[in-house]
Amino acid sequence: MAQAPQDQIAPLLTPEGWELLASLEPYREEKSFELNSALRKAGHSPELVSAVLTQSRLRTRAAAKFGEFARQMLFTQAGLEQATRLNVAARHAQRFAEAGIRHVADLGCGLAADSLALASMDITVTAVEMDETTAACATVNLIPFPNATVVHADATSVPLDGIDGVWLDPARRVTSTSGTKRIWDPEAFSPPLSFAEALAASGKAVGVKMGPAMPHDSVPADCEAQWVSVAGDVTEVALWFNAVRRPGIRRSALVLGSQGAAELTSGEEFGAGPAAPTGPVEGYLYEPDGAVIRAGLVADVALQLGGHLVDEHIAYICAPTLVDTPYARAYKVLDVMPYNVKALKAWVKENGIGVLDIKKRGTAVTPEELRKQLLSGRNSGRTAGRKAAKTATLVLTRIGEDRVAIVVEPVG
Q: Where along the chain do its domains lie?
A: 5-66, 80-266, 284-332, 333-410
Q: Are 72 and 145 in contact (CB under 8 A)?
A: no
Give the per-residue pLDDT at 381: 44
- Phi, psi values for residue 253, rounded to 5°: -125, 115
What mean pLDDT is predicted for residues 391-408? Answer: 95
What mean pLDDT is predicted for residues 152-156? Answer: 94
Q: Are 270 and 294 in contact (CB under 8 A)?
A: no
Give the per-residue pLDDT at 171: 75
- Tell me which of 11-20, 110-119, 138-147, 379-388 is least confident: 379-388
Q: Which fold has domain 333-410?
A: THUMP fold (3.30.2300)
- Phi, psi values for residue 53, rounded to 5°: -70, -40
**Residue 193 vs residue 189, higher pLDDT:** 193
Q: Are 141 and 116 in contact (CB under 8 A)?
A: yes
What mean pLDDT is predicted for residues 355-377? Answer: 92
Give the per-residue pLDDT at 47: 94
What mean pLDDT is predicted for residues 133-160? Answer: 96
pTM: 0.89
At residue 388, does pLDDT exceed 80?
A: no
Give the per-residue pLDDT at 399: 94
**Architecture of 80-266 per CATH?**
3-Layer(aba) Sandwich (3.40)
At residue 68, does pLDDT exceed 80?
A: yes
Nearest to 223 by CA among 244, 202, 209, 204: 244
At residue 359, does pLDDT exceed 70?
A: yes
Question: Which value, to the nearest 10 degrees, does the dihedral of the CA atoms of residues 149, 155, 158, 163 take?
Answer: 60
At residue 398, does pLDDT exceed 80?
A: yes
Burial of 248 (0-12, 13-18, 19+ CB in 10 A): exposed
163 vs 42: CA distance, rounded Å? 50
Q: How confident is the model at residue 197 (pLDDT cuts 50, 70, 90)?
A: very high
Q: Are 276 and 299 in contact (CB under 8 A)?
A: yes
Give the per-residue pLDDT at 5: 60
At residue 195, does pLDDT exceed 90?
A: yes
- Tell me which of 36-40, 72-76, 187-191 is least confident: 187-191
How far is the CA of 133 from the CAs of 61, 156, 165, 213, 322, in angstroms? 19, 19, 25, 29, 52
At residue 377, does pLDDT exceed 80?
A: no
At residue 177, does pLDDT exceed 60?
A: no
Q: Write the pLDDT tens digit of every residue in 234-291.
A: 999 999 999 999 999 999 999 998 889 999 999 999 999 899 999 999 999 999 999 9
Give the per-residue pLDDT at 180: 62
What average pLDDT does the structure give for the chain?
A: 92
What DSSP character marks residue 131?
Answer: S
Give the per-residue pLDDT at 170: 86
What DSSP character marks residue 25?
Answer: P
Q: Write the pLDDT tens digit of every residue in 322-339.
A: 999 999 999 999 999 999
Write the DSSP string, 147-177: TEEEEES-GGGS--TT--EEEE--B-EEEET
